[in-house]
Chain A
């Protein structure tokens, strides 16, 4: 008798371990995943379409809503793209603050990944610890931008405002305590036999396949491909910082875990260096056509008032042309393809979202494995559905 041995079931879009509204159609042979087909789009919000009718500065808050665990990385990629097309360079202080905050963002994003990934596999306490530390990073966002999640702190030409008083002290105290916390997580997981059984040799992907599938970020580095955009095509002055690229060998869930832990340590080092070098000076380019005049000036100077009015009613124009700017976001290569027709709104913006591309590797990693492993694999790819669906 050759009866159908497989069963097709639906996992998601309301399944907690799919990290959002991801739906997988699974063809199962008992506990084994024979075929895994992701269905996405449940969180599609038309971000690229909306951006076409917004002025350049107004697009920044929309970018927050893609990878909402790393809003500042999205902001950075977008403002860098616009600045590249404008042909401007931001002052050193703004650049250093950008690096400091995007690296804190990387730590924050990796902490959410660690917590949720661990709780998926059954390690409850790591989740609580990781969120405790992330809270400190959210507090920092609140200090600089007033918002805890959708911070929109960067602007085309610089920053929204300078760092508030006492901010450096907050960051310093975080840098003092965090490495010990990281060591605690490692105590709980790195040599834990259950953790190792659930992650080692699971969801393996070969370097050739990973490159073919467009995998980037920690997932690619875990297969032994040492590609980090901060090193290969530095932006925001990353070439001045000393740090190392994470590197794995096996390309499995465990190596992806080790890579991200390593990256958090490196980020601590980068934030420390940025604090040491933090120069004084303006936090935005001094161009009245691009960045707003100081508020007291608006009340005294006619010209300042006109500039202010124009910036808020019409914005600024960007020369016609196109650029592609990518950065190393916590998830991988976050790219912005920007086309301008010379007006004050983008003609077309495309976001190359790492979660979208990385998710394509899921079937390759999961097919032939157990359903329980699928949960570990999804966690290890570290997707954010806001970014997958945009």
Chain B
């Protein structure tokens, strides 16, 4: 991408502070269209989030969104994406972790209660498990459903026959 600007990302206060505090945790940073993304080591995500939330100069107290992306052909396969917002400074930052299929991600529910349903949705749609989540079960699909619809190897259209053969379909 043309406008990926590593230098610009480096100047960002949030990026700088997080890198100073957790030099091991920050894998890379980038800035596209004035949006900053920090790739964090997946085991460090909870510590990083708590720091970003509590540091008086940053105060990312609002978790806007939490979701995932399936990069089917790549390794690690999944990205879990966190969109943080600071009500005080009106700033946004995007955190990302990369996880392999079957890998368990630490839950950020102890940092923000709102992560509860978001993580359930990611679990339901992508099959990514969260460690330390108080109530990890499907949220949108029926309980007995097989498969995770937002995975790239899950068909967009399928006849009822497909389900019978696949032995899927809950009730």
> Hey, which bits of chain A sit against chain B, CB under 8 A?
40-41, 44, 46, 48-50, 52-53, 84-85, 87, 211-214, 225, 227, 232-233, 319-324, 326, 333, 335, 337, 339, 347-348, 350, 352, 356-357, 360, 389-390
Contact status B33-A214, CB under 8 Å: no
Q: Is B113 an interface residue (CB 8 A)?
A: yes
Assess A52 versus B156: contact at CB under 8 Å? Given A41-B142, A214-B112, A352-B65: yes
The minimal Cβ–Cβ distance linking A21 to chain B, given in whole angstroms, is 12
Q: Judging by beta carbons under 8 Å apart, are B33 and A211 in contact?
A: no
Among B33, B112, B154, point to the contact of A323 (Cβ < 8 A): B33
Task: Known A49-B150, A49-B156; judge A323-B35 contact (CB<8 A).
Answer: yes
Q: Which residues of A contact B90 (CB under 8 A)?
A: 232-233
Residue of B nearest to A320 (CB): B1
Q: Please, which residue of chain A has its CB at the minimum distance from the CB of B63?
A: A214
With contacts A323-B33, A337-B81, A352-B83 known, what are 16 further pairs, Cβ within 8 A? A41-B140, A41-B141, A44-B140, A46-B149, A53-B156, A87-B33, A212-B113, A233-B90, A322-B32, A322-B35, A323-B32, A324-B83, A335-B64, A337-B65, A348-B150, A350-B65
Looking across the interface, which residue of chain A has its beta carbon closest to that of B79?
Answer: A339
With both chains docked as a complex, state the minimum distance between the C-beta of B162 and any C-beta of chain A, in angstroms: 15
**Residues of A contacting B94 in the complex (Cβ-Cβ under 8 angstroms):** 322, 324
Contact, CB under 8 Å: A84 / B69:
no
Within 8 A of A (CB), among B105-120: 112-114, 116-118
**Could you pull out 9 A-B pairs where Cβ atoms are within 8 angstroms?**
A41-B139, A49-B154, A212-B113, A227-B87, A233-B90, A319-B2, A322-B35, A337-B83, A360-B113
Q: Is B62 an interface residue (CB 8 A)?
A: yes
Chain B interfacial positions (CB closer than 8 Å to A): 1-2, 32-33, 35, 37, 61-65, 67, 69-70, 81, 83, 87, 90, 92, 94, 112-114, 116-118, 125, 138-142, 149-150, 154, 156
Note all chain A residues with C-beta closer than 8 A to B63. 214
Known: A53-B156, A357-B117. A335 touches B65 (CB 8 A): yes
User: Would you give the shortest CB distance from B7 to chain A, in whole angstroms?
Assistant: 18
Contact A321 B32 (CB under 8 A): yes
Q: Chain A's nearest CB lies how many Å from the CB of B155?
A: 9
Contact, CB under 8 Å: A48 / B150: yes
A85 to chain B, nearest CB (A): 7
B87–A84 touching, CB < 8 Å: no
B29 to chain A, nearest CB (A): 14
**Bound-state Cα–Cα, A244 to B63, Å:** 25
Given A337-B81, A356-B117, A212–B112 Cβ distance below 8 Å?
yes
A359 to chain B, nearest CB (A): 8
Contacts of A227 in B (CB 8 A): 87
The docked-state distance in angstroms from the alpha carbon of A294 to that of B60 is 47
Closest partner residue, chain B, to A207 (CB atom) = B87
Of A85, A212, A333, A337, which one neighbours B33 at CB under 8 angstroms? Answer: A85
CA distance A330 to B142 in the complex (A): 29
Most buried by A among B33, B69, B87: B33
Q: Are B1 and A321 in contact (CB under 8 A)?
A: yes
Q: Which residue of chain A has the shortest Cβ distance to B71 in the bound complex?
A: A347
A211 and B92 within 8 A (CB): no
Complex contacts, B154 vs chain A, CB 8 Å: 49
Residue among B140, B154, B156 with most chain A CB within 10 A: B140
Complex Cα spacing A324 to B116, Å? 21
| 9 shortest interchain CB distances as A-B pairs | A214-B114, A41-B140, A352-B65, A350-B67, A232-B90, A44-B140, A212-B113, A348-B69, A53-B156
Q: How far is the CA of A102 from the CA of B113 in the complex (A)?
A: 31
